[in-house]
Protein backbone atom coordinates (compact mmCIF):
# COMPACT_ATOMS: atom_id res chain seq x y z
CA UNK A 1 0.00 0.00 0.00
CA UNK A 2 1.27 3.49 -0.87
CA UNK A 3 0.96 6.06 1.90
CA UNK A 4 0.75 9.66 0.72
CA UNK A 5 0.79 12.53 3.19
CA UNK A 6 -0.83 15.83 2.35
CA UNK A 7 0.76 19.15 3.40
CA UNK A 8 -1.08 19.25 6.76
CA UNK A 9 -0.17 15.69 7.79
CA UNK A 10 3.41 15.10 6.73
CA UNK A 11 4.58 13.82 10.13
CA UNK A 12 1.54 11.68 10.79
CA UNK A 13 1.74 10.13 7.31
CA UNK A 14 5.44 9.39 7.81
CA UNK A 15 4.80 7.83 11.23
CA UNK A 16 1.93 5.75 9.84
CA UNK A 17 4.05 4.53 6.92
CA UNK A 18 6.80 3.56 9.35
CA UNK A 19 4.30 1.71 11.56
CA UNK A 20 3.32 -0.24 8.43
CA UNK A 21 6.96 -0.94 7.52
CA UNK A 22 6.96 1.24 4.42
CA UNK A 23 8.00 4.74 3.31
CA UNK A 24 5.61 7.54 2.38
CA UNK A 25 5.54 8.59 -1.27
CA UNK A 26 7.23 11.88 -2.06
CA UNK A 27 5.07 14.76 -3.26
CA UNK A 28 5.79 18.24 -4.49
CA UNK A 29 3.69 20.99 -2.93
CA UNK A 30 3.86 24.46 -4.42
CA UNK A 31 1.67 27.35 -5.48
CA UNK A 32 1.17 29.33 -8.65
CA UNK A 33 1.92 33.08 -8.71
CA UNK A 34 -1.79 33.85 -8.18
CA UNK A 35 -1.86 31.68 -5.05
CA UNK A 36 -3.59 28.62 -6.51
CA UNK A 37 -2.15 25.34 -5.24
CA UNK A 38 0.03 23.03 -7.29
CA UNK A 39 0.96 19.52 -6.27
CA UNK A 40 2.43 16.44 -7.87
CA UNK A 41 2.80 12.91 -6.52
CA UNK A 42 6.32 11.95 -7.55
CA UNK A 43 5.51 8.22 -7.73
CA UNK A 44 3.31 6.05 -9.89
CA UNK A 45 -0.10 5.31 -8.33
CA UNK A 46 -1.67 3.49 -11.29
CA UNK A 47 -3.25 0.20 -10.11
CA UNK A 48 -1.88 0.71 -6.58
CA UNK A 49 -3.77 0.67 -3.29
CA UNK A 50 -3.27 4.21 -2.06
CA UNK A 51 -3.93 5.80 1.34
CA UNK A 52 -4.00 9.58 1.49
CA UNK A 53 -3.55 11.15 4.92
CA UNK A 54 -4.47 14.81 5.14
CA UNK A 55 -6.16 16.89 7.83
CA UNK A 56 -8.22 19.80 6.60
CA UNK A 57 -7.93 22.63 9.14
CA UNK A 58 -7.84 25.24 6.34
CA UNK A 59 -9.60 25.68 3.01
CA UNK A 60 -6.24 25.22 1.25
CA UNK A 61 -5.76 21.89 3.00
CA UNK A 62 -9.15 20.76 1.76
CA UNK A 63 -8.26 21.77 -1.80
CA UNK A 64 -4.95 19.90 -1.49
CA UNK A 65 -6.84 16.76 -0.41
CA UNK A 66 -9.22 17.02 -3.36
CA UNK A 67 -6.23 17.51 -5.68
CA UNK A 68 -4.47 14.46 -4.20
CA UNK A 69 -7.56 12.30 -4.75
CA UNK A 70 -7.76 13.50 -8.33
CA UNK A 71 -4.05 12.85 -8.89
CA UNK A 72 -4.60 9.22 -7.83
CA UNK A 73 -6.94 8.62 -10.77
CA UNK A 74 -6.19 5.09 -11.97
CA UNK A 75 -5.31 3.77 -8.50
CA UNK A 76 -6.86 0.38 -7.70
CA UNK A 77 -8.26 1.71 -4.44
CA UNK A 78 -8.15 5.07 -2.65
CA UNK A 79 -8.44 5.25 1.14
CA UNK A 80 -8.62 8.73 2.61
CA UNK A 81 -7.71 9.44 6.23
CA UNK A 82 -8.87 12.86 7.44
CA UNK A 83 -7.43 12.96 10.98
CA UNK A 84 -8.96 16.38 11.68
CA UNK A 85 -11.88 17.37 9.50
CA UNK A 86 -12.51 21.08 9.28
CA UNK A 87 -16.15 22.28 9.08
CA UNK A 88 -17.34 19.17 10.97
CA UNK A 89 -18.93 21.41 13.61
CA UNK A 90 -21.39 22.91 11.08
CA UNK A 91 -23.26 19.61 10.99
CA UNK A 92 -26.74 21.14 10.76
CA UNK A 93 -28.48 24.34 9.73
CA UNK A 94 -28.45 26.44 12.89
CA UNK A 95 -30.26 29.31 11.06
CA UNK A 96 -32.31 29.31 7.85
CA UNK A 97 -30.17 29.83 4.78
CA UNK A 98 -27.03 28.22 6.18
CA UNK A 99 -25.27 25.33 4.47
CA UNK A 100 -24.57 22.06 6.23
CA UNK A 101 -20.87 22.66 5.66
CA UNK A 102 -19.80 19.26 6.99
CA UNK A 103 -22.03 17.61 4.39
CA UNK A 104 -20.72 19.88 1.61
CA UNK A 105 -17.13 18.92 2.48
CA UNK A 106 -17.87 15.21 2.86
CA UNK A 107 -19.53 15.11 -0.56
CA UNK A 108 -16.26 16.30 -2.17
CA UNK A 109 -14.35 13.23 -0.99
CA UNK A 110 -14.47 10.82 -3.90
CA UNK A 111 -12.77 7.74 -2.45
CA UNK A 112 -13.35 4.06 -1.73
CA UNK A 113 -13.04 4.39 2.03
CA UNK A 114 -12.75 7.25 4.53
CA UNK A 115 -11.40 7.29 8.07
CA UNK A 116 -11.71 10.21 10.49
CA UNK A 117 -10.51 10.49 14.08
CA UNK A 118 -12.94 11.62 16.80
CA UNK A 119 -14.99 13.57 14.31
CA UNK A 120 -17.03 16.23 16.12
CA UNK A 121 -20.38 14.70 15.14
CA UNK A 122 -20.59 11.09 13.98
CA UNK A 123 -23.69 11.69 11.83
CA UNK A 124 -21.37 13.52 9.40
CA UNK A 125 -19.94 10.12 8.42
CA UNK A 126 -23.19 9.38 6.62
CA UNK A 127 -22.57 12.23 4.18
CA UNK A 128 -19.45 10.70 2.58
CA UNK A 129 -20.22 9.02 -0.73
CA UNK A 130 -18.40 5.86 0.45
CA UNK A 131 -18.11 3.86 3.70
CA UNK A 132 -16.65 6.05 6.44
CA UNK A 133 -15.43 5.08 9.90
CA UNK A 134 -14.43 7.18 12.88
CA UNK A 135 -11.37 6.03 14.85
CA UNK A 136 -11.08 6.71 18.58
CA UNK A 137 -7.97 8.37 20.00
CA UNK A 138 -9.05 7.69 23.60
CA UNK A 139 -6.85 4.67 24.31
CA UNK A 140 -3.68 6.36 23.06
CA UNK A 141 -4.45 9.57 24.96
CA UNK A 142 -5.08 7.55 28.12
CA UNK A 143 -1.81 5.67 27.76
CA UNK A 144 0.04 8.98 27.49
CA UNK A 145 -1.74 10.44 30.52
CA UNK A 146 -0.71 7.34 32.48
CA UNK A 147 2.96 8.14 31.77
CA UNK A 148 2.55 11.44 33.70
CA UNK A 149 2.27 9.33 36.89
CA UNK A 150 -0.22 11.75 38.45
CA UNK A 151 -1.38 10.77 41.91
CA UNK A 152 -5.11 9.89 41.94
CA UNK A 153 -5.99 12.12 38.94
CA UNK A 154 -9.55 13.08 38.09
CA UNK A 155 -10.37 13.19 34.38
CA UNK A 156 -13.01 15.81 33.62
CA UNK A 157 -15.07 16.59 30.52
CA UNK A 158 -15.73 20.34 30.18
CA UNK A 159 -19.22 19.62 28.84
CA UNK A 160 -21.71 16.78 28.55
CA UNK A 161 -20.72 16.26 24.89
CA UNK A 162 -17.21 15.18 25.90
CA UNK A 163 -18.40 12.67 28.52
CA UNK A 164 -18.10 9.65 26.23
CA UNK A 165 -14.53 10.55 25.28
CA UNK A 166 -13.50 11.07 28.91
CA UNK A 167 -15.03 7.75 29.93
CA UNK A 168 -13.13 5.98 27.15
CA UNK A 169 -9.84 7.71 28.06
CA UNK A 170 -10.28 6.79 31.73
CA UNK A 171 -11.70 3.30 31.36
CA UNK A 172 -8.69 1.03 30.78
CA UNK A 173 -6.65 2.91 33.36
CA UNK A 174 -9.11 2.92 36.20
CA UNK A 175 -9.05 6.72 36.55
CA UNK A 176 -12.06 8.50 38.06
CA UNK A 177 -13.97 10.83 35.75
CA UNK A 178 -16.65 13.51 35.88
CA UNK A 179 -18.04 16.30 33.70
CA UNK A 180 -18.91 19.99 33.90
CA UNK A 181 -21.85 21.89 32.43
CA UNK A 182 -21.14 24.40 29.69
CA UNK A 183 -23.30 27.06 28.08
CA UNK A 184 -21.82 28.72 24.99
CA UNK A 185 -22.37 32.52 25.06
CA UNK A 186 -20.55 33.35 21.79
CA UNK A 187 -17.91 31.95 19.44
CA UNK A 188 -15.15 32.34 21.99
CA UNK A 189 -16.91 32.79 25.35
CA UNK A 190 -18.60 30.14 27.45
CA UNK A 191 -20.06 29.84 30.94
CA UNK A 192 -19.00 26.80 32.95
CA UNK A 193 -21.35 25.85 35.79
CA UNK A 194 -19.91 24.67 39.07
CA UNK A 195 -20.47 21.03 39.83
CA UNK A 196 -20.52 19.36 43.17
CA UNK A 197 -17.34 17.40 42.79
CA UNK A 198 -14.61 17.74 45.38
CA UNK A 199 -11.44 18.64 43.51
CA UNK A 200 -9.52 20.02 46.49
CA UNK A 201 -5.86 19.17 46.12
CA UNK A 202 -6.50 16.82 43.19
CA UNK A 203 -4.67 16.75 39.88
CA UNK A 204 -7.17 17.27 37.08
CA UNK A 205 -6.94 16.34 33.42
CA UNK A 206 -9.59 18.14 31.37
CA UNK A 207 -10.31 16.11 28.23
CA UNK A 208 -12.13 17.30 25.09
CA UNK A 209 -12.21 16.41 21.42
CA UNK A 210 -10.74 19.78 20.43
CA UNK A 211 -9.44 23.05 21.78
CA UNK A 212 -10.41 25.79 19.33
CA UNK A 213 -10.33 29.29 20.84
CA UNK A 214 -9.52 27.88 24.27
CA UNK A 215 -12.59 29.54 25.80
CA UNK A 216 -14.09 26.28 27.09
CA UNK A 217 -10.88 25.09 28.69
CA UNK A 218 -9.83 28.49 30.09
CA UNK A 219 -13.16 28.86 31.93
CA UNK A 220 -12.98 25.26 33.15
CA UNK A 221 -9.42 25.71 34.47
CA UNK A 222 -10.42 28.90 36.33
CA UNK A 223 -13.43 27.21 37.87
CA UNK A 224 -11.51 24.12 38.97
CA UNK A 225 -8.56 26.07 40.35
CA UNK A 226 -11.00 28.35 42.16
CA UNK A 227 -12.36 25.23 43.85
CA UNK A 228 -8.92 24.23 45.07
CA UNK A 229 -7.70 21.82 42.36
CA UNK A 230 -3.95 21.22 42.28
CA UNK A 231 -2.42 21.03 38.76
CA UNK A 232 -4.80 21.18 35.81
CA UNK A 233 -3.66 19.48 32.60
CA UNK A 234 -5.49 19.59 29.28
CA UNK A 235 -5.71 16.68 26.88
CA UNK A 236 -7.37 16.92 23.50
CA UNK A 237 -7.46 15.06 20.23
CA UNK A 238 -7.40 18.10 17.93
CA UNK A 239 -5.21 21.07 19.01
CA UNK A 240 -6.78 23.70 16.74
CA UNK A 241 -5.54 26.39 19.15
CA UNK A 242 -6.86 29.28 17.07
CA UNK A 243 -5.64 32.86 17.57
CA UNK A 244 -4.29 33.33 21.11
CA UNK A 245 -5.73 30.12 22.58
CA UNK A 246 -2.44 28.90 24.08
CA UNK A 247 -1.88 32.19 25.89
CA UNK A 248 -5.47 32.19 27.20
CA UNK A 249 -4.87 28.72 28.62
CA UNK A 250 -1.55 29.54 30.26
CA UNK A 251 -3.01 32.75 31.69
CA UNK A 252 -5.81 30.63 33.16
CA UNK A 253 -3.16 28.52 34.89
CA UNK A 254 -2.89 25.34 32.84
CA UNK A 255 -0.02 23.07 33.84
CA UNK A 256 0.47 21.50 30.40
CA UNK A 257 -1.36 20.83 27.14
CA UNK A 258 -1.31 17.32 25.70
CA UNK A 259 -2.62 16.76 22.19
CA UNK A 260 -2.51 14.29 19.35
CA UNK A 261 -0.88 14.82 15.96
CA UNK A 262 -4.14 15.03 13.98
CA UNK A 263 -2.94 18.63 13.77
CA UNK A 264 0.82 19.06 13.86
CA UNK A 265 1.53 21.56 16.64
CA UNK A 266 4.14 21.84 19.38
CA UNK A 267 1.60 20.27 21.76
CA UNK A 268 1.09 17.19 19.52
CA UNK A 269 2.83 14.59 21.63
CA UNK A 270 0.55 11.59 21.14
CA UNK A 271 0.78 10.11 17.67
CA UNK A 272 -2.28 8.61 16.04
CA UNK A 273 -0.09 6.58 13.68
CA UNK A 274 -0.70 3.24 15.49
CA UNK A 275 -4.46 3.84 15.34
CA UNK A 276 -4.41 4.56 11.60
CA UNK A 277 -1.96 1.74 10.87
CA UNK A 278 -4.21 -0.77 12.69
CA UNK A 279 -7.27 0.44 10.76
CA UNK A 280 -5.42 0.09 7.44
CA UNK A 281 -4.14 -3.37 8.36
CA UNK A 282 -7.74 -4.40 8.95
CA UNK A 283 -8.85 -3.54 5.39
Binding site for ligand R5P (CB under 6 A): 158-159, 161-162, 188, 190, 208-216
The C-alpha atoms of residue 192 and residue 218 are separated, in whole angstroms, by 10
> What is the 8-class DSSP label of residue 24?
P
Active-site option among 182, 195, 255, 265: 182
Specify whether 182 is catalytic: yes
Smaller CB separation from ligand R5P, 155 or 212: 212
Smaller CB separation from ligand R5P, 24 or 86: 86
CB of 180 to ligand R5P, least distance (A): 11
Smaller CB separation from ligand R5P, 83 or 214: 214
The C-alpha atoms of residue 157 and residue 154 are separated, in whole angstroms, by 10
CB of 129 to ligand R5P, least distance (A): 26
The C-alpha atoms of residue 44 and residue 96 are separated, in whole angstroms, by 46
Q: What are phi and psi of 68, to 5 degrees?
A: -60, -45
CB of 215 to ligand R5P, least distance (A): 4
CB of 151 to ligand R5P, least distance (A): 27
E runs forming strands in 13-57: 27-31, 37-41, 49-53
Smaller CB separation from ligand R5P, 3 or 190: 190
The C-alpha atoms of residue 76 and residue 112 are separated, in whole angstroms, by 10
CB of 159 to ligand R5P, least distance (A): 6
The C-alpha atoms of residue 98 and residue 265 are separated, in whole angstroms, by 31
The C-alpha atoms of residue 72 and residue 67 are separated, in whole angstroms, by 9
Describe the chain by its helix, strand, coil percentages, rounded to 5.
Answer: 30, 25, 45
Smaller CB separation from ligand R5P, 153 or 215: 215
Smaller CB separation from ligand R5P, 213 or 268: 213
CB atoms within 10 A of CB 77: 15
> What is the 8-class DSSP label of residue 140?
H
Of 156, 164, 141, whose CA–CA distance to 220 is shortest? 156
CB 120 within 8 A of CB 139: no
CB of 208 to ligand R5P, least distance (A): 5
Q: Which residues are catalytic?
A: 182
Amino acid sequence: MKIIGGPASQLLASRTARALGTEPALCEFNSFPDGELYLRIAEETENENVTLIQSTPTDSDLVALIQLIDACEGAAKINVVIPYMGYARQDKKFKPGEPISARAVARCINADRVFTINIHEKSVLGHFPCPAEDLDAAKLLGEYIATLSLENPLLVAPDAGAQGLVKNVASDLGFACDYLQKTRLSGDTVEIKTKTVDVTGRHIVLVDDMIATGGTMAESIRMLRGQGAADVYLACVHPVLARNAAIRLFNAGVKDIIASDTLEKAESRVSMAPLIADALKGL
